[in-house]
């Protein structure tokens, strides 16, 4: 760029900025035309156009006079200006994509000379309800992880098991935890009778390590051990999963979370850094294997591989900084995870950190298939708070989905007549499904099945199942073990309205 051009561009910037401050016009007609249509349009949108007559104002006046000639001329001049000198380029424009390191959530620029990050020293390990982290060892400055892929009998909740495929026998697999700048090597042994491969979801790495069977590298044969290795150059919430015959292999459980802590965190470390993975399976009552081929109607919805009431609670102390990282590798369903009693901010996606000024408060975070989200909050409201997918069918277990709709029918006569034919017959669901689980003990249940929802709670039966857990916040805690049910302080527990209440407030019932 010539010196003259640079000077002109500087003037232009100063002019626009100057007007912003004073509100007084400083552009001459020639300067304004020279700046081109794009700048004018941008300036108009930003509300910085001068109030006294200018080319733009003149054009407006022409419009009102129906002076088509002048209008046409102005348009063509604008276009020419824009074509000759695009004032908003990808580099300089305000809506360009960031090209710096911050785009991928990086806290440091150099990757070659970091020692392996250590728990306690370089990061606070994540908390994995119902799960565990993958252990590692260090060899010559490289973090070494080892996994195998095998068939495993997995328990979804007491009473429901199925033969799944897991990493190290776990569904989902163990959480891989690392630190930005770590050199990592992951050995994967295939103990299935079919080929597989592991994709490191949303991690920035060499193409040949990306794990798409046949595309990134050849598939891992049964019995073979593959080696994946790269230097981690970002931090955030990621996943891993099979990328060979994905529908079958992910559907059988071959999924896991991959957490990378920042090397130099800009914000304080969370006190409680939870990880949850969402999955879904179709396990027909009485069968022992998920059916990954169905298109919809998944009946076993899990957080870290468990259906409520099999899900372990998330326990925090009042005032704890809590982070919750969620990944969704369900086959076909997005999950809006709703938290009771608190609001949070969504701070991370699998693409990186959301800048603080672009976050907004929520109580539900939608985690679509193939996404991760991290939310952060301070847990300041003691209690037992439900945290669940808000798709109502996703808070049911197995048997609540394909029942005939008998809501509102008078079933007593029917039951009486049916008893002649089927002794002990009882119509279920005339008042909803809430009682269904309670009756489960009386009914003959198919082998390997669980009531469609529920467990006895502190105050009544809790009619929920599937993708549900409980956030337990306490004033005081000796440990983060499950503290049991919450005991609400006097006057904070909903109950029957007293006669006095009704009279005082003029409520007639």
Distance in angstroms (rounded) separating the CA atoms of residues 150 and 148: 6
Match 């400083």 to its residue by tokens: 26
Q: Can residue 335 be called a binding residue for Cu ion (CB under 5 A)?
A: yes
Helices 55-64 and 68-84: angle between axes, nearest 10 degrees:
150
CA distances from 359 to 253, 375, 490 (A): 33, 10, 37
Please, which residue, 199 or 394, has the CB nearer to Cu ion? Answer: 394
Minimum distance from residue 278 beta carbon to Cu ion (Å): 7
Q: Are 434 and 504 in contact (CB under 8 A)?
A: no
Minimum distance from residue 279 beta carbon to Cu ion (Å): 11
Query: Which one, of 142, 250, 154, 249, lies nearest residue 187 by Cα?
Result: 142
* Residue 84 burial (10 A CB sphere; 0-12, 13-18, 19+): exposed
Instruction: Assign 71 to helix, strand or coil.
Output: helix
Match 């990306």 to its residue by tokens: 210
Q: Which stretch binds Cu ion (CB under 5 A): 7-15, 60-68, 310-318, 335-343?
A: 335-343
Binding mask 28-67 for Cu ion (x = CB under 5 A): ----------------------------------------
Please, which residue, 392 or 487, has the CB nearer to Cu ion? Answer: 392
Cα of first residue to Cα of last residue in the chain, in angstroms, is: 82
Q: Can residue 306 be called a binding residue for Cu ion (CB under 5 A)?
A: no
Minimum distance from residue 447 beta carbon to Cu ion (Å): 27
* R_g of the chain, CA atoms, integer Å: 30
Binding mask 385-424 for Cu ion (x = CB under 5 A): ----x-x--x------------------------------
Please, which residue, 143 or 394, has the CB nearer to Cu ion? Answer: 394
List, in sequence order, every residue forming a beta bridge with 275; answer none if it has no partner. 325
Distance in angstroms (rounded) separating the CA atoms of residues 240 and 247: 14
Q: Are 374 and 348 in contact (CB under 8 A)?
A: yes
* Residue 371 burial (10 A CB sphere; 0-12, 13-18, 19+): buried
Q: Which stretch binds Cu ion (CB under 5 A): 216-224, 256-264, 339-347, 382-390?
A: 382-390
Q: φ, ψ for residue 81 (rounded to 5)?
A: -60, -45
Please, which residue, 159 or 336, has the CB nearer to Cu ion? Answer: 336
Distance in angstroms (rounded) separating the CA atoms of residues 336 and 323: 17
Minimum distance from residue 290 beta carbon to Cu ion (Å): 17
Please, which residue, 301 or 346, has the CB nearer to Cu ion? Answer: 301
Minimum distance from residue 225 beta carbon to Cu ion (Å): 36
Minimum distance from residue 300 beta carbon to Cu ion (Å): 12
Count residues binding Cu ion (CB under 5 A): 4
Q: What kind and span of H or E run contains 502? A: helix 499-504
Please, which residue, 82 or 337, has the CB nearer to Cu ion? Answer: 337
Q: Can residue 430 be called a binding residue for Cu ion (CB under 5 A)?
A: no
Please, which residue, 212 or 391, has the CB nearer to Cu ion? Answer: 391
Minimum distance from residue 390 beta carbon to Cu ion (Å): 7
Please, which residue, 184 or 396, has the CB nearer to Cu ion? Answer: 396
Match 């009882």 to its residue by tokens: 426
Minimum distance from residue 119 beta carbon to Cu ion (Å): 32
Q: Which stretch binds Cu ion (CB under 5 A): 19-27, 166-174, 383-391, 420-428?
A: 383-391
Minimum distance from residue 455 beta carbon to Cu ion (Å): 19
Residues that bind Cu ion (CB under 5 A): 335, 389, 391, 394
């Amino acid at each position: 760029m010539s010196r003259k051009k640079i000077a002109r561009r500087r003037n232009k910037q100063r002019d626009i900025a100057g007007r912003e401050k004073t509100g007084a016009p400083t552009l001459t007609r020639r300067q304004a035309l020279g700046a081109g249509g794009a700048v004018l349009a941008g300036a108009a949108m930003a509300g910085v156009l001068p109030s006294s007559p200018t080319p733009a104002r003149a054009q407006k006046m022409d419009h009102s006079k129906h002076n088509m000639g002048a209008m046409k001329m102005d348009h063509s001049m604008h276009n020419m200006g824009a074509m000759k000198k695009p004032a908003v380029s990808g580099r300089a424009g305000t809506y360009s994509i960031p090209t710096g390191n911050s785009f991928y959530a990086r806290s440091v620029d150099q990757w070659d000379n970091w020692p392996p990050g250590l728990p306690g020293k370089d990061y606070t390990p994540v908390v994995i309800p119902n799960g565990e982290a993958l252990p590692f060892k260090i060899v010559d400055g490289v973090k070494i992880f080892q996994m195998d892929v095998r068939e495993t009998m997995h328990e979804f909740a007491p009473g429901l098991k199925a033969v799944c495929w897991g990493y190290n026998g776990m569904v989902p697999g163990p959480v891989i935890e690392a630190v930005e700048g770590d050199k990592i090597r992951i050995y994967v042994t295939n103990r299935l009778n079919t080929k597989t491969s592991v994709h490191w979801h949303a991690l920035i790495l060499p193409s040949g390590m990306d794990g798409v069977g046949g595309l990134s590298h050849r598939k891992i044969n049964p019995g073979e051990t593959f080696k994946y290795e790269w230097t981690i150059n970002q931090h955030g919430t990621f996943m891993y999963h099979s990328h060979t015959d994905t529908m079958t292999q992910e559907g059988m459980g071959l999924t896991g979370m991959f957490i990378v802590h920042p090397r130099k965190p800009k914000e304080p470390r969370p006190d409680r850094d939870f990880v949850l993975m969402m999955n879904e399976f179709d396990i027909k009552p009485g069968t022992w294997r998920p059916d990954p081929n169905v298109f919809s109607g998944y009946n076993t919805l899990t957080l870290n591989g468990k259906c409520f009431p099999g899900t372990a609670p998330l326990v925090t102390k009042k005032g704890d900084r809590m982070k919750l990282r969620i990944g969704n590798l369900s086959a076909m369903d997005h999950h809006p995870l709703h938290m009771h009693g608190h609001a949070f901010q969504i701070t991370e996606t699998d693409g990186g950190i959301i800048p603080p000024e672009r976050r907004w408060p929520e109580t539900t975070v939608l985690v679509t298939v193939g996404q991760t989200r991290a939310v952060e909050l301070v847990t300041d409201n003691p209690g037992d708070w439900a945290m669940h997918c808000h798709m109502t069918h996703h808070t049911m277990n197995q048997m609540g989905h394909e029942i005939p709709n008998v809501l509102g029918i008078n079933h007593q006569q029917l039951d009486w007549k049916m008893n002649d034919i089927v002794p002990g017959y009882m119509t279920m669901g005339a008042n909803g499904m809430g009682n269904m689980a309670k009756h489960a003990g009386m009914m003959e249940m198919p082998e390997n099945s669980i009531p469609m929802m529920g467990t006895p709670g502190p105050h009544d039966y809790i009619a929920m199942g599937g993708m549900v857990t409980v956030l337990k916040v306490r004033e005081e805690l000796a440990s983060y073990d499950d503290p049991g049910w919450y005991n609400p302080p006097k006057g904070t527990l909903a109950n029957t309205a007293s006669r006095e209440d009704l009279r005082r407030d003029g409520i007639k019932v």
